[in-house]
């Protein structure tokens, strides 16, 4: 248990208290709910998966372009000889 400074009245408030006993403002430590943090984490993981899929698509597109370019160049090469 520690004392923190209230944002509203700048008096000493216990971090265990949900709200400031002096002015009634919500205490910082009580605001973030663990369930919200979990959903945020899940959303972050989903966003990471989406970006990974995007980079996979980019890599596939890039390799397709490279193979197309290689076949084009090799065709030119065979025509010359």
* Site residues, Zn ion (CB under 5 A): 6, 8-9, 20, 22-23, 25
Query: CB-wise, 14 or 43, nearer to Zn ion?
Result: 14
Q: How far is the CB of 5 from Zn ion (least distance, A)?
A: 9
Q: How far is the CB of 36 from Zn ion (least distance, A)?
A: 23
Please report which helix (H) or strand (E) contains residue 7, including its range: none
Query: CB-wise, 22 or 50, nearer to Zn ion?
Result: 22
Query: CB-wise, 2 or 76, nearer to Zn ion?
Result: 2
Distance CA 60, CA 54 (A): 10
Q: How far is the CB of 34 from Zn ion (least distance, A)?
A: 24
Beta strand ranges found along 1-81 (DSSP E): 3-5, 12-14
Please give the backbone phi and psi of residue 42, each rounded to the nearest 5 degrees, phi first. Answer: -65, -40
Map residue 68 onto helix, strand or coil.
Answer: helix
């Amino acid at each position: 248990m520690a004392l923190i400074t209230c944002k509203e009245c700048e008096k000493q408030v216990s971090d265990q208290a949900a709200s400031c006993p002096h002015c009634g403002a919500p205490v910082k430590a009580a605001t973030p709910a663990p369930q919200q943090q979990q959903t945020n984490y899940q959303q972050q993981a989903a966003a990471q998966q989406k970006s990974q899929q995007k980079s996979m698509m980019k890599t596939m597109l890039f390799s397709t372009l490279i193979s197309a370019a290689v076949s084009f160049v090799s065709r030119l090469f065979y025509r010359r000889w």
